[in-house]
Chains A and B, each alone.
Chain A
Amino acid sequence: MTNINGKRKLYVSVIVITLFILAGIGGISCAQTRAAVQVPKFEVDPFWPKPLPNHWVLGSVTGVAVDSQDHIWIVHRGADSLGNNEKGGILKPPTGCCVPAPPVLEFDQAGNLIGHWGGPGAGYDWPQSTGGITADHKGNVWIAGAGQPEPTAGPARGTASPAKPQDAQVLKFSSTGQFILQIGHAGKAEGNDSKTGLNRPASVTVDGYANEVYVADTGNRRVVVFDADTGAYKRHWGAYGEKPDDSALAAYDASATPAKQFRAASCAVVAIDGSVYVCDRSNNRIQVFKKDGKFVKEAAISRGTLGDGAVWSIALSHEPAQRMIYVADGQDKKILVLRRDTLETVASFGDGGRMPGQFYGVGSIAVDKKGNVYTGETYEGKRVQKFVYKGASR
């Protein structure tokens, strides 16, 4: 009974694929196809996570991650993204409910809040507006500073903080919130040739095999790679593996020649086989690279989508071969399920709305060891949701 629309689409996709197999179109052998079209199924868990303590509420959620213990981490924008009428507990005098939760929250598998920290401190530049979060192979937590807050349609922010310097940094903390490392500096955005600076990076991930951190350096139209311990620059590249540049891009047009630059590089995720998947959000595409930045291929996703674009963030499926890619499509308010080998969209789930399993501004996504999917919603979605993995079937 959950997620009727999503399921319906899923079934439709499955039926289409089944017909495809029966017709034997495309010259693909049945055995290969059967193995490849196993589509994962999900059901929303409306009671995950458990209610927060202390009348805490979430602001716009900008990042979600799963660590090696299958704990779920989120980062959200807190008070700056909450209207006065939902943060009455911190107004002077207090007017009523509620209180912004600390920016970084850690949940266990049962949905209990087991850790919380974050915010300005000595020795680092806490972002004026957070981006993605990741938990690396050593148990540390990285957060991107994504620059200007997302536009929102909500009520007047009232007590929004005074202007802060533009974000141009990523931060590394221990899992208990102890500051470890910062790459780049707030208010000191550097250009797309910089080996030390960034410009509104949307997200950060760590390649544990090489101990390298990949930054989707959105404002610089590039992916940039640093040593995960020292923060030392290693390499960077733009769309198609070319040199990034700041030349003006015409407005996105589905029928035009694909842009030669990233329009909004919003994720860079390394797969087990060394492929690097880059979200080019408002170009509606995923570009695939080798770790050295050599371009491999690309795929258009929801090509007709305008506005914020379709490819906000991705996560890889949990099985060793990582056969699937899950794409958080915040503009179309759903999760797309892609085959990683062909980058074909084989299913999707979700729809717009405020009920469980629906989305508004779904912009971040992560997968745990059991295959469950977690999503974070920005704008006025302001939720983390769990989708329970129900196995794969044709």
Chain B
Amino acid sequence: MNLNRNIYIGTSLLVLLAALFIAQGLLDRTPAAQGGTAVMAPRFEVDPFWPRPLPNHWYIGMSIGVAADAQDHIWIVHRPDTVSANEAALDQKTGECCSKAPPVLEFDQAGNLIGHWGGPGQGYEWPESNHGITIDYKGNVWIGGNGTNDAQVLKFTQDGKFLAQFGHAGKNGGSNDTENFGRVAKIFVDPKANEAYISDGYLNKRVVVIDADSGKFKRYWGAYGNKPDDKSLGRYDPDAPPAQQFRNPVHCAELSNDGLLYVCDRVNDRIQVFTPAGKFVKEQWVAKRSLSDGSVWDIAFSKDPQQKFIYLADGRNEKVYIIQRETLEVLTSFGDGGRQPGQFYGVHSIATDSKGNIYTTETYEGRRLQKFVYKGLAPVTKEDQGTPWPAAGSK
């Protein structure tokens, strides 16, 4: 029972500390609230019944990309090969459930599965390990790959017809190669310039910009706009001077409407901001003491024309931060670790639809697509909102 007593003592201390912390937080915020300038941020509630169950006893693996298209259809890419034998028992003929779903899945707003395709085919090299999905302004679907030999990005129609491949599997030539990539995490396509921004990647340490039609390399750069250097940076140390290069993986590169590129430097726990030409603008750490696989996994912009907010998926701390884009200040966050709706295990990718709803996918053993319904702006009352259940569900 000593152990129990210790746990109770420990818990009591934690509760006290938490109470002090909250009290401090309230004190900090009170003046602002009194002055009528309460901080406002978008509020979300999880929809536990979206999407609808898949047909055919289909089962998804690590889900490492999500995107919304112009019709507000939601697309994901996952890794069927990560579904274990006892999950894929129908494929293995050892049981009635289940069967690996195709890698690319398309859902409508109601959560119905309305399209599915993907996998190896003629004329292109399907990735060893799928990673990232984007629907460009022409309606085409881009996919990266972070497998050992993946050095290519792929472009398909929404029906899964192959359109183009840039780079070739096994041909990685490092972070200054101008024909191949190094285990690409994600792609963003800029409609104004018809340029694709490649988060490159799990092996290379750079952002690459290519022509979205021809694939021709236009420019690339590393952290702070430096020339990328593949020298090992060793382990991330939050107390050391900031690394002058990106750490692997460079996990997102998203261009805002006003022409700023936000790059996820995942394991360095930071966002770096650039002009489209690659000139460094500023940076911000988020959960800077996060170790291991880092805190800055993927971002999406809020749907107001000014894109006032950035939503940041943190698969290390299992939450989504709501960040003021102008200041890069974290306003609040939602989510927590766990397998219930609104909780996460390896929240990896994030996207928003035209209504402002958020969609997330989880890798590792999380393996879900979740929807968080936009509920308008609300005053920020908690730094950490925890699991975002509807009021009726959490009462």
Contacts and interface: CB of A to CB of B under 8 A. Distances in A.
Decide if A and B are genuine partners: yes
A363 B93 CA distance: 20
Given A3-B53, A51-B343, A354 B367 contact: yes
Contacts, number: 167
Contacts of B316: 85, 88, 95-97
A293 B49 CA distance: 46
B1 A306 contact: no
Interface of A is mostly: loop
Contacts of A167: none
**Chain B interface helix/strand/loop/mixed:** loop
A358 B53 contact: yes
Interface in B212-244: none
B287 interface: yes
A69 B1 CA distance: 25
A332 B53 contact: no
22 contacts: A5-B53, A51-B336, A51-B342, A51-B387, A52-B338, A57-B337, A85-B316, A85-B364, A86-B364, A86-B365, A96-B291, A96-B317, A121-B1, A307-B92, A308-B86, A331-B94, A331-B95, A332-B95, A333-B95, A351-B53, A352-B97, A354-B366
Interface of B: 1-4, 7, 11, 14, 48-49, 52-54, 57, 59-60, 84-87, 89, 92-98, 287, 290-293, 295, 314, 316-319, 336-343, 345-346, 364-368, 386-387, 389-390, 393-394
B53 A54 contact: no
Contacts of A360: 87
B340 A46 contact: yes
A315 to B, nearest CB: 20
A307 B89 contact: yes
A46 B95 contact: no
A85 B292 contact: yes
A380 B97 contact: no
A155 B338 contact: no
Interface in A1-36: 1-5
B47 to A, nearest CB: 9
A371 interface: no
B343 A334 contact: no
Interface of A: 1-5, 46-47, 50-52, 54-55, 57-58, 83-86, 88, 93-98, 102, 117, 119-121, 153-155, 177-178, 302, 305-308, 310, 331-334, 351-358, 360-361, 379-383
Given A84-B292, A306-B95, A353-B54, A153 B86 contact: yes
A94 B316 CA distance: 11
Contacts of A84: 292
A178 B1 contact: yes
Given A57-B338, A351-B53, A355-B368, A153 B97 contact: no
Given A120-B3, A306-B94, A307-B86, A58 B365 contact: no
Contacts of A117: 4
A28 B187 CA distance: 65
Contacts of A52: 338
A153 B368 contact: no
Contact of A93 (B291, B293, B368, B389): B291
Contacts of A119: 3
B343 to A, nearest CB: 7
Given A47-B393, A352-B87, A98 B290 contact: no
